[in-house]
Amino acid sequence: MTEKSKIPKNSNETKVISKTQKKKRVEVISYEQEILRKGVHLMSLSIPVGYIFVSRELALYVLIPMMLIALSIDLLSKYDNFVRKYLYLYFGRMLRHHEKNNDPLILNGASWVLISAVITLLFFPKVIAVISFMVLIVCDISAALIGRRFGKHKIFDKSIEGTFAFIVSGFIITWIVGTIYRADIWFFIAGYLGSFFGGIVELYSTKLKVDDNLAIPISVGITMSIVNSFAYYYFDKEFLDLFQVHF
């Protein structure tokens, strides 16, 4: 292709290119804002840590109202200028461009995190829910910060470096929890495989058009559940009672 053929043929094409480039620039928040966003995200680690010590019923009793409040604020901000004004005043710098869209089907990260927490607790045993959500919080932060700072090899809008950071962080979480609670080897296998597949899902989440706050814990939870079932049926082993907290 010659240099001449690369030049837009008309002004309309130039406008389309400019709009596309502008959209890409706006979509990416600054690295400092990313750190702030992930700092708030890190506070969600209190959900899986707290869940270790309480029953599913009590955890859901707290999380479901929080989810409904977050959803209400998120949806109201699409229609009500007053709500939108104060949401953007306090959190606007941390919101990505698409999260400011008035489409009611497009939710912000906080809403998805709480929806994900409720779904994870409802459908997975405690140990699997805890690890799945820890992976979401810690590994997503690692992937975002490492990927944006050191990512050189891009796949879609992610980077291989970020995915590597995600998987390694998941391995570390599994090792720490497994070591503290003296877990069986099958727990480590499940956690490592869950972290790996969670990283792959995070990498392809944009392509799959699924919010990674939902896709990651579900993929980790399904993987760990499959490993636990395999260990139970073929080796009469399981790790679902790891925390030894019964209600």
Q: Which residue has tokens 């080897």?
A: 185
Residue 246 belongs to a domain: no
pLDDT single digits (tens) 63-89: 999 999 988 888 888 777 777 776 766
Residue 4 belongs to a domain: no
Smallest CA-to-CA distance from 84 within 102, 111, 65 is with 102
Looking at residue 96, its pLDDT comes to: 63
What's the number of domains the chain is made of?
Answer: 1
Extract the tokens encoding 139.
């590994």
Residue 240 belongs to a domain: no
The answer for 151, left when phi > 0, alpha when psi is -120 to 50, beta otherwise, is beta
**8 A C-beta contact, residue 139 and residue 198:** yes
pLDDT over threshold 70, residue 92 = no
Burial class of residue 191 (count of CB atoms within 10 Å of its CB; 0-12, 13-18, 19+): buried
Alpha-carbon distance of 130 to 124, in angstroms, equals: 9
- Residue 42, Cβ neighbours under 10 Å: how many? 13
Per-residue burial over 61-93, b = 16 or more CB atoms within 10 Å of its CB, e = otherwise: eebeeebeebbebbeebbeeeebbeebeeebee
Residue 100 belongs to a domain: yes
Beta strands in the chain (DSSP E): 154-155, 158-159
Looking at residue 25, its pLDDT comes to: 42
Share above pLDDT 90 across residues of the chain, in percent, rounded to a whole number: 49
**8 A C-beta contact, residue 70 and residue 120:** no
Residue 231 belongs to a domain: yes
Looking at residue 7, its pLDDT comes to: 47
Per-residue burial over 96-121, b = 16 or more CB atoms within 10 Å of its CB, e = otherwise: beebbeeeeeebbbbbbbbbbbbbbb
Smallest CA-to-CA distance from 205 within 125, 247, 147, 149 is with 147
DSSP string, 17-59: HHHHHHHHHHHSPPHHHHHHHHHHHHGGGHHHHHHTTS-HHHH
Residue 10 belongs to a domain: no
Rounded to two decimals, what is the model's pTM?
0.80
Mean pLDDT of 169-196: 96
Smallest CA-to-CA distance from 47 within 145, 109, 120 is with 120
Mean pLDDT of 25-34: 63
The answer for 75, left when phi > 0, alpha when psi is -120 to 50, beta otherwise, is alpha
Looking at residue 94, its pLDDT comes to: 62
Residue 110 belongs to a domain: yes
Residue 111 belongs to a domain: yes
Extract the tokens encoding 64.
């479901």
Residue-range definition of the domain harbouring residue 41: 31-235
Looking at residue 110, its pLDDT comes to: 82
What average pLDDT does the chain have? Answer: 82
pLDDT over threshold 90, residue 153 = no
pLDDT single digits (tens) 192-223: 999 999 999 988 887 777 888 999 999 999 99
pLDDT over threshold 90, residue 42 = no
